Amino acid sequence: MDLLRVFGGARLAGDVDVVGAKNSALKLMAVTLLAPGRSVITNVPRITDIAIMAEVLRRLGCEVTSEGDRIEIDVPDECGTEADYDLVRRLRASICVLGPLLARRGHVRVAHPGGDAIGSRGLDMHVAGLRRMGADITSEHGFVIATVSERLHGATVWLDFPSVGATENLLMAAVLAKGTTEIDNAAREPEIVDICEMLTAMGAKIGGAGTSQLIVEGVDALRPVEHRTVGDRIVAGTWAFAAAMTRGEVTVHGVPVAHLEIALDKLVTAGAEVDPVGDGFRVRMGRRPTAVDIVTLPFPGFPTDLLPMAVGLAAVSEGASLITENIFDGRFMFIQELVRLGAEIRTDGHHAVVRGRERLSGAPVSATDIRAGAGLAVAALCGDGVTEVSHVHHIDRGYPTFAADLTGLGAHVERVQAPAEPVFGL
């Protein structure tokens, strides 16, 4: 198992390119199940989760090949209907095959998903919505089993919360349902819009993309297409916060300002200069950041996936910040690791009070999930000495060239093999 050795004291400066969004590409791969034939997805990040999703599709009978940032998926006329536990437990996004397989085949068996340890993320809204569309859904021996007697039908579905996963599953099911489906309180993330654009190119009839109300008129069949994945706003946000934390100047390419408006506005409030530049934006910070309060909310609010970077910024800012997490109940799990770097943080439920310090200090820490790992590595740049971040495989799931990108921006980072843990006996 590898670890990252991060040497503190770096000021990040330069340009960095951001590829396609992990949270979109994975779902676009599932979208291809709706149309027999060969679909192509480009601007796909080369990360572990994409490889796992490719294997999920292969076991469903698809041919999947990749070269560079391009993936070709050839979907058979009758694809499989079961997603096995050994893969699904490693990738929560694989639950998104539930909607398209049910719509295409009329029955599906998908293991309960795994993924990051950031709190409970139930399937209640997925199940309730599909049931309103005529599905019979049960849970047995760790599997979600869904069937429909003839064909899913249109329905009005109100989501209790604008869940991205539930919106995606219901949207993919609705495009082949009979009649019109209305999804109210739908998620509005750019990744949802990306899925809508691919589905529309395939022949789907969708209104309201990017709003809280999606109107889907079902069609009899879809056709395969080629589609380019939207840029990863979370990776872009990571570099934006890294620039501010290290008092640097970084130009991020591949993600528009509109996809990160509130996050970038928080950086401006903290003292940074943010300017649109071509296909991205530039962040400059010439002094120590000023403390800002941050509350995570569904898009267009502050992204929960950037919370570790927000806490890291607060840890080196002047003053005290109140950080509130409203999406995942386990998102604060990484905070004790940040405290090991010298951060002064107190938590109470879904609130964290962070009192900033001029410098942090290097220490061994462990990544608990994708974004926590990236956040710890960036925070380590603001410390004295060397920090070793273990369980770096988490970072690999969201950042295809994380260490190389840091190095390209002027950081001193080494990826090394972790020493074997000692074995103790009696």
Q: How far apart are CA 304 and CA 48, in angstroms?
A: 21
Strand, coil or helix: what is 139?
strand
What is the separation of C-alpha 117 from the centre of its chain, rounded to a whole number of angstroms? 13
Q: What DSSP character marks residue 257? A: G
Establish whether 183 is an annotated binding residue: no
Which tokens in the block code for residue 247? 């008092």
Quote the tokens at residue 277: 């530049």
Does 22 carry a binding-site annotation? yes
Dist. CA 130–CA 146, nearest whole Å: 9
Quote the tokens at residue 382.
């603001």
- Amino acid at residue number 288: R
Establish whether 335 is an annotated binding residue: no
Find the DSSP H helices in 210-273.
233-245, 261-269
Single-letter residue type at 290: T
Cβ neighbours for 73, distance < 8 A, ≥ 6 positions apart: 29, 32, 38, 39, 40, 41, 57, 62, 63, 64
Rounded Cα distance between 169 and 213, Å, is: 15
* Rounded distance between C-alpha atoms, residue 339 and residue 353, angstroms: 12
Amino acid at 210: G
Roughly how many angstroms between the first and final C-alpha of the chain, as a whole number? Answer: 26
Distance from C-alpha of 392 to C-alpha of 390, rounded to nearest angstrom? 5
| Alpha helices by DSSP H, 12-47 | 22-31
Query: Any binding-site annotation on 266?
Result: no
* Catalytic option among 49, 69, 116, 396: 116
Residue 407 phi/psi, 5-degree rounding, is -60, -40
CA distance 399 to 370: 8
Tell me if residue 15 is catalytic: no
d(CA 285, CA 241): 10
Residue 233's closest CA among 212, 261, 210?
Answer: 261
With beta carbons less than 8 A apart as the criterion, state whether 266 and 324 touch: no
Please tell me whether 369 is known to bind a ligand.
no
Question: 3-state class of 185 per DSSP?
Answer: coil
Residue 308 preceded by cis peptide, ω within 30: no
Please report, in range form, the residues annotated as the binding site.
Answer: 22-23, 92, 305, 327
Binding-site residues from annotation for phosphoenolpyruvate: 22-23
| Residues noted as catalytic | 116
Binding residues for UDP-N-acetyl-alpha-D-glucosamine: 92, 305, 327
